[in-house]
Amino acid sequence: MKDLTTGKESKLIFQFALPMLIGNIFQQLYNVVDSIIVGNYIGKEALSAVGASFPVFYALISLIIGLASGSAIVISQYFGAKDYKNVQKGVDTMFIILMVSSVIITIPGIYYVDEIFRLMRLPEELIPEARKYMVITLAGLVTAFGYNGTASIFRSMGDSKTPLYFLMFSTLTNIFLDLLFVLQFGMGVEGVAIATVISQAGAFITSIIYINRTHKIIKVRFFNLQFDKDIFKKSVKIGLPTGLQQFFVAMGMIAIFGIVNGFGTDVIAAYSVALRIDTFALMPAMNFAQALTSFVGQNIGAGKIHRIKKGLKSTIIMSASVSLSISILVIFAGGFLMKMFSPDAEVIRIGHEYLMIVGIFYVVFSTMFSFTGVFRGAGDTIVPMFITLFALWTIRVPLSYYMSLQFNETGIWYSIPTAWTFGMTASIIYYFTGRWKKMGVVKIKGKI
């Protein structure tokens, strides 16, 4: 646990963000290793199928991700206020939400998976491989929810290091099992999916054992979880807008994949790989923003409002500096990065073109996310949701379709920084209105 209410703001946020960043790098290695092995040892068709599965999976789990984030913010504010009884209630309520939701999502997700892929215009020859990957991944959804739930609980109480250790072990297990199942046993995409599920289950189980044996404030007893209606309502109030935002973002990803899918296997494979690289490139910005969210939540709970502006300024500077460095790396080394995933020359060319266009604007994304981190930490998730959805559905998706008719797949890539620029501008304007100060569980008193 770490108290974020005392000490130099920039140092606290950086130290809190760094373990999360390392952890997320390891977590993304799940997907990256999957893609590298699939692209190099199974083929670009399988790589396209696995890549097309991601937005579908994300759409199915997005609402629950939002509710869990709402619970984490509630826990963070109660922890900042030293109300440990409600911290435990928040933990119990979060796990009930996650466990019940995993069952509700898995069954219809598996049943309708083919229809979803067809709505995305995924080429018919890629659907069987995509189905195999999705069905196994959905079957292990409860362990994915469980681990991410425990990680968010640790972070909400200022501990970003502990989940990292479990995740590092889990990632190394995943890499070993990927190589074993695919290279040794020839299991194809099924082996990749099974390796991921087993690794996530290991991280979940070990993190629960650790909590129950060592944690001083909370315990997780699955047969004795207590549902708190009041905390559930607060979690829904804060988390549902984020969940809806993530859901419509996922649907936007599906819509864009539907446009991309019309250009064939090479473009699908290149876009899938470029998104993997994008995720790594944008991860520092997201982690700095996540650290800022916990920082803001705790300081609001402790009544130390004056620290929020300083925390935001420090986050923007740190996040933008890292983003600029990554932009330079991605622009000049994009072709090499693409070669790691696929030996196909056309896939490499298309993916490199994407990175050249989008990579210049990573600092815009990082600035936008920094402001969003303040809003979420304060409990205001509604307006950021509308900003994101407007940027996606009014700008990016229509522009992707129109530009693709004029410039083929290249037009799709230009729509991404255009939407980011709008989101950043709108977030800055909303911050200076000050309306976000009135939305928290613990009300803000005083001037920031």
The whole-model pTM stands at 0.75
Residues of the chain short of pLDDT 50, as ranges, are none
Dihedral pair phi/psi, residue 342, rounded to 5°? -155, 140
Q: What is the pLDDT of residue 1?
A: 56
Q: Given this model, what pLDDT does residue 425 score?
A: 95
Condensed to tens digits (0 to 9), the pLDDT of residues 267-322 reads 999 998 998 888 888 989 989 998 898 888 888 777 777 888 888 999 999 999 99
pLDDT the model gives residue 443: 55
Question: Tens digits of per-residue pLDDT, 333-346?
Answer: 989 999 988 888 99
Say what the pLDDT of residue 307 is.
Answer: 85
Q: What is the pLDDT of residue 9?
A: 82
Q: How far is CA 385 from CA 76, 363, 372, 373, in A?
A: 21, 20, 10, 12
Q: Would you state the pLDDT for residue 445?
A: 55
pLDDT score at 121: 84
Domain definitions of the chain by residue range: 11-438
The pLDDT value given to residue 62: 78
